[in-house]
Structures are given as structure tokens and as C-alpha cells.
């Protein structure tokens, strides 16, 4: 990868944007992630570092030559072999933007290479820019006026009152380490002027006790992420090495009065979400997620980067552009309004390979999942009583997905499963043929549109197994409509019976669909909805200048709706 000049010590500042990870003492973990955390070992930041035989350099002169940089003092710490900069900060006249690094330790900086980069001069060979940079007591704070979700920017109106500004973004970090950075000439350049470009490699980025907080006053919204220990292994030639994030957590808060105001202006949809159970499920005032350990095997985009630099679309003949490593998470827990709502022992995402920009395989599954439904029900309500009476307070949960694309066969398939024991199980299967990624990603305009419409549906199937899902839906609907749950289900079933009579005039299939749905709503069981045409049907069959009649579409796609009684 190439970077513009000013890479030097400013890499330490730009590196903050990558810093998002954490944990305290790995040896203290005893949960599901304990063995994996122990295998990682301590962070480099857990140990002191000394550069032997180091000599002082005139770092002050280098910093003074760089525009927009201020500091209090530059000294040489002989005990650790580092140049030390105190209160390193950008020069700014804005009272709304503050950034400071309390202490920065620079080990083994090449002053001549730094000066060449600062001046935008080319380099002839790859050399080490520095051995290591450590930064401590990092603080960044910014306030600005535009609401997060749009609206008028009030910065100028409130310039005399920074506390009244709409939004704020704060980043703090106890420590950041950048491993060895080497810099060399770019493999290719996109520069049109005299400014040189460079390629760099990074041996690792590590952070300790990072925290990010974002607030929005107009939206009464706050987002917080804490990252005690994070590690990014390396960056070389468009490839990021393994990453691990230990003990991270994030939370979202939104004032319920603001939520209620939004719901009142959303019409019938908003009224539906006034149900306490649904509101806690989808629009809680406070939610938090904690993760004991998240590991990602990194990604490689070295063959894609040249096209991105030139702002070009890679040709369809380029097949080895991108690969994404596997991801594993341990000990994930979610909380709603302070109550545990779900937990997952482990989630696994398999490595993702691509052909051109099209994934060839995506697969993930959860292990040891639990859902605590009473977290979404207000105590003392009919919903809370229902969940407790049916032993649904804490139930096993399952999620898995598998996607595959076979370019030689021009076929793709997706299978998903989602289940909450005692509530529901949903299986979805989708298969398409004549999907040609070369035409879809390698062409434009009408040719591309035609390629998409030529893709053909072979199968789309949805199976819903009801255990207590319909009971829950009836309770929610009854709360919104102020009716009895059983009466509401009878009304819905009766309405579908009427649809069956009227729909028979369009197609006999509609009568069968409505009868199956009516019985499912009244008695539960398993509902299966599927499209399995005798031969794959192109998506173009759905439209055109003269769309086919509904009855023709039902026959063409062989849509079926069936209900089976509960076992």
C-alpha cells in the first residue's frame, strides 16, 4: 500500500483510528474464553521496552519543521533508549477540537528518512523508519452541531456556548504501541504532481484501556465502547495479520421520552411498537453487549488495492482480489435495561474466499446460545406471567447460516436456521442458477441489468415451526388493540377464510394458501411456504412491459403453502 507524506511520527496519531480493543490481566479469565486468552499471552504493552545502544537525535528540530504540531518538551530517556515528547498535540485555533498525547516515546527513529518523507522526497530503498513508538495518556474530544440523524448544523449559532453543541465525540486511551515501521518506494504511484508516495509495513499495533463515547443531544443518544486490550498483528502489502480484542464492551442509550415521541409520529407502525415487550426488544432505552474475546484472522486485499488507488473497477478476469480470515467470539452477553437478555458461549465465522468481488462461501454458527425473554417483559405484566408459566424465562437459542457460490456452475445457495427453544424455529433455503458474476460485476448499464434479470430462481423455501410464537404475537397484538388474545387469533383466522373464498376466483391456489394460513394461525403447527418451479425461472419473468397475471406467476413459480399439525 502507498501512503502520502507526513507518515513519520504522525502514524502514531493516525493509528488511533485503528485502535479499538481490550482486556486487563489475561490470567484472570476463567470463562469460556479463558484458554484462548491464555494462549494469546500478554500484550507487548504489559512489559517495559528498552532499545539498547540508542543515541539521542534532534527530534525537536524535526517536529518544528513539520506544520501543525506542538509539544511541551522533547528529551532523551537514556534508561529506555527513547526520545520522549510530552503533550504532543496538533496546533488548532478551535475550542471545539482537542487532542493530546501526554507522553510519546520514539525508539530508533531514522531522522534522515523522516525528513525526506516530511519534504515529500522519494526514497530509493526500503528502510526502517522507527523501531517502536509508544504513546500514553491519549485524549481526543470534539464537539459539533449537526444532529447524528440529520438536521440543521447549529455550531455557528452556539459558538459562544460549547456545552450546548449538539454532539460530542471523545476518545481516551491509556497506552498505544506501534511496532516497527518500514518505509520504501511505492510499487506504483498515482501521484500527478511532485509529491512522492511510499509503501509502508507495520509490525503490530496494540492498545490498552481505550474508550470511545459519542453523544447526541437532539437525539438523546449515547454510544460508548470500552476496549481494555486490543492487538493488530501486522500490516504488509495490503494484508492485515491476526487481530484480537479482549474484554471489549459497548452500550447504547436513548431517552425513552424521545423514543415515545418518535413512535407517536410513526402512525400505525409506531403504535405497534408501543407494546412494552416489542419496545424493549427493538427500541430499548439502554442496551449493552460484552465480549470476553474476539479473534479475527485478518484479511488480504493486496491484489485489489492497485485498482482502488486508481479508482478503477477490477476486470471480471481478476479472481484473486480479496480474502477474509475467520472470526471467533467467546463469552458474548447482551443486556437490556440492566437485565441479561442473551448469551452465546461461542460464535464462529468461517474464512471467506472470493472470486472477483463475489464471496464463494460464507458460514457462521453460534454455540451455547441462550435467550432470557423475561428481560424484555416488564415485571408484573401479562407477558411476564406467560413467559414464567411456560418456562420460557431462559431458553436455548440456535443460529447458523451457510452460503455458497459455485462460479463454474453459475449457481448459488443459502441456508439459514434461527431457533429459540419453546418459541419458534425458522429455516430458509434459497437456490439460484444462471448467476454469472462476470457479467454482473464486469459490465454496466443495460448489459449488467440483463445479467441480473437472467439469474433464475430454482428454490425458495421458508419453514416456520410454532411452539409459542403465535401465543406471543397474540399477546402483543391484544395489548396494542385492547382485545383478548384468543379473540384476535379467531379474527385473523376468519379473515383468511374470507380471503380463501374471494381468492379462488383468481386462482385455486389462493384458496389453498389461505386455508393453510388460517389453520396455522388458529392451531399452530408448522407452516411451509415454498417456490419450487419445474425448471429454474429467470427473475425477468416477474416483470417486463407486460407483467404476467397473478395466477400465471403462481403457476410459473409453483408457489405452495402447507400447514402440518404439531407433533
Q: Please give the full DSSP string across 218-270, using - where no structure is assigned.
A: TTTEEEEEEEEEEEE--EETTEE--EEEEEEEEEEEE-HHHHHHHHHTSHHHH
Rounded to the nearest 5°, which phi and psi values hold at 368? 65, 40
Q: What is the C-alpha to C-alpha distance for residues 320 and 357, in angstroms, rounded to an integer?
A: 9
Q: Are 37 and 197 in contact (CB under 8 A)?
A: no
Question: For residue 283, what are the contacts with CB-CB under 8 A and spacing of at least 6?
Answer: 254, 259, 263, 273
Q: Write down how long the chain is.
A: 567
The total of other beta-carbon atoms located within 10 Å of residue 383's CB is: 22
Q: Mean pLDDT, to the nearest integer, of 339-356?
A: 94
Q: Mean pLDDT, to the nearest integer, of 249-275?
A: 76
Q: Are 157 and 145 in contact (CB under 8 A)?
A: yes
Q: Are 245 and 291 in contact (CB under 8 A)?
A: yes
Nearest CA among 6, 13, 15, 134 for reference residue 81? 134
Q: Which residues of 114-128 are buried (b: 16+ CB within 10 A; e: fewer)?
A: bebbbebeebeeeee
Q: Are 14 and 277 in contact (CB under 8 A)?
A: no
Q: What is the C-alpha to C-alpha distance for residues 413 and 417, in angstroms, rounded to an integer?
A: 14
Q: What is the C-alpha to C-alpha distance for residues 107 and 134, in angstroms, rounded to an integer?
A: 8
Residue boundaries of the structural domains of the chain: 1-22+50-144+179-195, 469-564
Max intra-chain CA distance, the chain: 92
Looking at every residue in the chain, the average pLDDT score rounds to: 85
Q: What is the C-alpha to C-alpha distance for residues 142 and 156, in angstroms, rounded to an integer?
A: 15
Residue 422 pLDDT: 93
Strand 395-406 to 424-433 pairing: unpaired
With a cut of 90, say whether residue 142 has pLDDT above it. no
**124-133, 211-220, 351-360, 466-475: which range is least confident on average?**
211-220
What 3-state DSSP class applies to 385? helix
Q: Mean pLDDT, to the nearest integer, of 218-227?
A: 85
Q: What is the C-alpha to C-alpha distance for residues 296 and 285, in angstroms, rounded to an integer?
A: 31
Question: For residue 265, what are the contacts with CB-CB under 8 A and spacing of at least 6?
Answer: none
Q: Mean pLDDT, to the nearest integer, of 384-393?
A: 89
Residue 34 pLDDT: 86
Q: Choose between 6 and 436: higher pLDDT.
A: 436
Nearest CA among 169, 152, 10, 148 for reference residue 96? 169
The total of other beta-carbon atoms located within 10 Å of residue 437's CB is: 21
Q: Mean pLDDT, to the nearest integer, of 105-113?
A: 96
The total of other beta-carbon atoms located within 10 Å of residue 130's CB is: 25
Nearest CA among 440, 460, 438 for reference residue 450? 440
Question: For residue 379, what are the contacts with CB-CB under 8 A and spacing of at least 6?
Answer: none
For the record, the C-alpha cell of 214 comes out as 459519542
Q: Which residues of 202-215 are buried (b: 16+ CB within 10 A; e: fewer)?
A: bbbbbbbbbbbbbb
Q: What is the C-alpha to C-alpha distance for residues 45 and 55, in angstroms, rounded to an integer?
A: 23
| Residues 492, 496, 497, 498, CA torsion sign | positive
Q: Mean pLDDT, to the nearest integer, of 355-377?
A: 93
Band the pLDDT of 223: cuts 50, 70, 90. very high
List, in sequence order, every residue forming a beta bridge with 531; answer none if it has no partner: 460, 559
Let me know the angle formed at the C-alpha of 24 by 23 and 30, rounded to the nearest 5 degrees: 85
Q: How many CA atoms lie within 13 A of 62 on its CB side?
A: 22
Q: What is the C-alpha to C-alpha distance for residues 211 and 206, in angstroms, rounded to an integer?
A: 14
What 3-state DSSP class applies to 87? strand
Place of cell 488495492: 305
Residue 482 pLDDT: 81
Q: Are 411 and 455 in contact (CB under 8 A)?
A: no
Nearest CA among 77, 96, 213, 187 for reference residue 134? 77
Query: Which tens digits make up the pLDDT trace of 441-484?
Result: 878 888 888 888 899 999 999 999 999 999 988 888 887 778 88
Torsion of CA 273, 276, 280, 281, to 10 degrees: -60
Question: For residue 94, what are the contacts with CB-CB under 8 A and spacing of at least 6?
Answer: none
With a cut of 70, say whether residue 553 has pLDDT above it. yes
Query: Which tens digits make up the pLDDT trace of 37-55?
Result: 999 999 999 999 999 999 9
With a cut of 90, say whether residue 248 has pLDDT above it. yes
Amino acid at each position: 500500500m502507498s501512503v502520502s507524506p507526513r507518515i513519520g511520527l504522525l502514524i502514531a496519531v493516525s493509528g488511533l483510528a485503528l485502535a479499538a480493543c481490550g482486556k486487563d490481566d489475561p490470567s484472570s479469565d476463567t470463562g469460556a474464553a479463558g484458554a484462548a486468552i491464555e494462549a494469546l499471552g500478554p500484550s507487548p504493552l504489559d512489559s517495559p521496552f528498552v532499545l539498547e545502544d540508542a543515541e539521542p537525535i534532534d527530534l525537536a528540530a524535526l517536529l518544528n519543521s513539520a506544520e501543525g504540531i506542538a509539544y511541551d518538551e522533547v528529551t532523551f530517556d537514556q534508561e529506555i533508549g527513547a526520545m520522549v515528547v510530552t503533550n504532543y498535540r496538533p496546533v488548532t485555533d478551535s475550542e471545539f477540537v482537542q487532542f493530546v498525547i501526554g507522553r510519546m516515546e520514539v525508539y530508533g527513529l531514522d531522522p534522515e528518512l523522516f525528513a525526506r518523507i516530511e519534504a515529500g522526497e522519494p526514497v530509493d530503498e526500503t528502510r526502517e523508519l522507527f523501531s517502536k513508538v509508544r504513546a500514553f495518556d491519549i485524549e481526543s474530544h470534539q464537539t459539533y452541531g449537526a444532529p447524528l440523524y440529520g438536521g440543521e448544523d447549529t455550531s455557528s449559532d452556539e459558538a459562544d456556548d460549547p456545552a450546548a453543541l449538539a454532539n460530542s465525540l471523545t476518545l481516551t486511551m491509556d497506552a498505544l504501541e506501534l511496532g516497527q515501521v518500514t518505509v520504501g518506494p511505492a510499487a506504483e504511484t498515482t501521484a500527478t504532481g511532485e509529491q512522492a508516495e511510499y509503501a509502508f509495513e507495520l509490525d503490530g499495533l496494540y492498545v490498552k484501556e481505550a474508550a470511545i463515547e459519542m453523544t447526541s443531544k437532539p437525539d438523546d443518544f449515547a454510544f460508548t465502547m470500552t476496549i481494555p486490550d486490543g492487538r493488530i498483528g501486522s500490516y504488509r502489502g495490503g494484508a492485515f495479520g491476526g487481530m484480537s480484542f479482549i474484554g471489549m464492551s459497548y452500550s447504547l442509550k436513548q431517552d425513552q421520552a424521545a423514543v415515545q415521541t418518535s413512535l407517536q409520529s410513526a402512525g400505525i407502525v409506531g403504535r405497534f411498537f408501543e407494546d412494552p415487550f416489542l419496545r424493549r426488544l427493538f427500541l430499548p432505552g439502554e442496551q449493552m453487549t460484552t465480549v470476553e474475546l474476539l479473534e479475527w484472522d485478518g484479511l488480504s486485499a493486496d491484489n485489489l488495492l492497485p485498482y482502488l488507488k486508481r479508482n478503477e473497477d477490477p476486470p471480471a478476469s481478476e479472481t484473486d482480489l480479496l480474502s477474509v480470515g475467520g472470526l471467533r467470539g467467546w463469552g458474548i452477553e447482551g443486556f437490556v435495561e440492566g437485565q441479561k437478555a442473551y448469551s452465546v458461549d461461542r460464535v464462529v465465522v468461517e474464512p471467506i474466499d472470493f472470486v472477483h468481488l463475489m464471496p464463494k462461501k460464507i458460514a457462521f454458527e453460534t454455540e451455547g446460545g441462550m435467550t432470557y425473554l423475561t428481560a424484555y417483559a416488564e415485571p408484573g405484566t401479562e407477558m411476564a406471567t406467560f413467559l414464567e408459566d411456560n418456562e420460557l424465562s431462559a431458553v436455548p437459542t440456535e443460529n447458523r447460516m451457510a452460503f455458497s457460490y459455485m462460479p463454474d456452475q453459475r449457481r448459488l445457495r443459502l441456508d439459514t436456521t434461527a431457533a429459540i427453544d419453546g418459541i419458534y424455529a425458522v429455516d430458509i433455503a434459497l437456490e439460484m442458477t444462471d448467476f454469472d458474476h462476470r457479467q454482473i460485476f464486469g459490465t454496466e448499464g443495460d448489459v449488467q441489468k440483463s445479467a441480473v434479470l437472467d439469474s433464475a430462481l430454482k428454490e425458495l423455501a421458508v419453514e416456520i415451526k410454532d411452539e409459542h410464537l403465535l401465543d406471543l404475537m397474540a399477546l402483543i397484538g391484544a395489548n396494542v388493540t385492547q382485545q383478548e388474545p384468543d379473540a384476535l387469533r379467531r379474527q385473523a383466522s376468519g379473515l383468511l377464510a374470507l380471503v380463501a373464498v374471494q381468492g379462488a376466483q383468481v386462482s385455486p391456489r389462493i384458496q389453498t394458501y389461505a386455508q393453510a394460513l388460517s389453520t396455522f394461525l388458529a392451531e399452530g403447527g408448522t407452516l411451509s411456504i415454498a417456490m419450487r418451479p419445474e425448471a429454474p425461472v429467470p427473475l425477468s419473468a416477474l416483470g417486463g412491459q407486460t407483467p404476467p397475471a397473478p395466477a400465471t406467476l403462481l403457476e410459473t413459480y409453483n408457489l405452495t403453502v402447507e400447514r402440518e399439525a404439531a407433533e
